[in-house]
Amino acid sequence: MTLRLLSWNVRGLNNPRKREVCKNLLKEWKCDFVCLQETKVSSIEGVFVQSLWGSPFTDWFVLDTVQSSGGVLLIWDKRVFEKLDVIVDFIENNSLVDLPLEGASFTWFRDSSFPSMSRIDRALVSLDWEEHFENVSQQVLPRVVSDHCPLLLEVGVVRPGRSAFKFENMWLKDEGFVDRVKQWWDGYSFEGSPSFILAQKLKALKADLKNWNREEYGDLAFRKKNKLTELMGLDVREELVGLSNEDQIRRLQLKGDIEQLASLEETSWRQKARPYL
């Protein structure tokens, strides 16, 4: 399934002719979700929404204008989005990434004797969201009724078998863990916007943490089971022929390893069970 989301600063929708052009283009672009900015419409009702999007499977949400300026209209296809919640402070509460722009370098143009241009409009996504889908792209569409270009965000299929990254509290019990993370972080070098650099450093850190966890801890239950089996073998040997000094030292080492693995396992279990308490 391909999801198509459109962001468009329309600079006013009071003109019926302009709404007709917008409706025609929205139909052409076949979007599932549309965010129209700077509507400059003081009051929006269902009839107004239908004049922009004729589908009967439409739901919408509006942020009112302030003294005839601003205003945001969200329209979406209910068959695709069964429910859409307005998220407050979304950018502040999530690690969002500014996606690369395809098709142009700027999204706003001033047509005058002294033309100017800027990249004002953009789509932000979380790192987990970007990794969850294949072939994510942010495309610039032609500007027809506004000096802002519409932005089309297109994503491919969901990547199978991927799980969200989770920080393991048991890592904090490892001596030198904080210093190791700091050394990794300071060693990363990327070029680009601040959000891009942060996103790339977080990706690199996540990969290093996963590799380190695999090499340092592996499967805790499997490792503990092997050490318990080895300890059981030493107990059997002690009953039959007794233990050498090396065997006794090994038994003490195994008991310490098992105790440490059990503590790490308990920490991991408590962390996993916490959301259900």
Closest CA to 247 of 258, 259, 236, 263: 236
Gap between the Cα atoms of 150 and 148, Å rounded: 7
pLDDT of residue 158: 54
Tell me how far CA of residue 251 lies from CA of 58, 206, 232, in angstroms.
Answer: 69, 36, 10
| Structural domain spans, the chain | 3-155, 169-216, 220-276
Torsion of CA 164, 185, 196, 88, to 10 degrees: 50
Domain 3-155 CATH superfamily: Endonuclease/exonuclease/phosphatase (3.60.10.10)
Gap between the Cα atoms of 125 and 221, Å rounded: 36
Query: Given the structure tokens 């006013």, which residue do they identify?
Result: 12
Query: Given the structure tokens 């408590």, which residue do they identify?
Result: 270
The C-alpha angle with vertex 254 and arms to 249 and 257, in degrees rounded to 5, equals: 130
pLDDT of residue 260: 74
How far is Cα of residue 5 from the mean position of the Cα atoms in its chain?
Answer: 16
| Residue 108, token pair as written in the block | 């706003």
pLDDT tens, N- to C-terminus, the chain (277 residues): 567 889 999 888 888 888 888 888 888 888 888 999 888 888 888 888 888 887 888 888 888 776 667 788 989 887 776 654 444 355 556 667 777 778 778 888 877 777 778 777 777 777 777 677 767 788 888 777 788 888 888 887 655 555 556 777 777 777 888 888 899 999 988 877 777 788 788 888 888 888 887 777 666 677 778 778 888 888 787 778 887 888 888 888 888 878 877 777 776 666 666 554 4
Alpha helices in 51-189 (DSSP H): 90-93, 127-132, 177-187
The half-sphere exposure of 257 on its side-chain side, counting CA atoms within 13 A, is 19
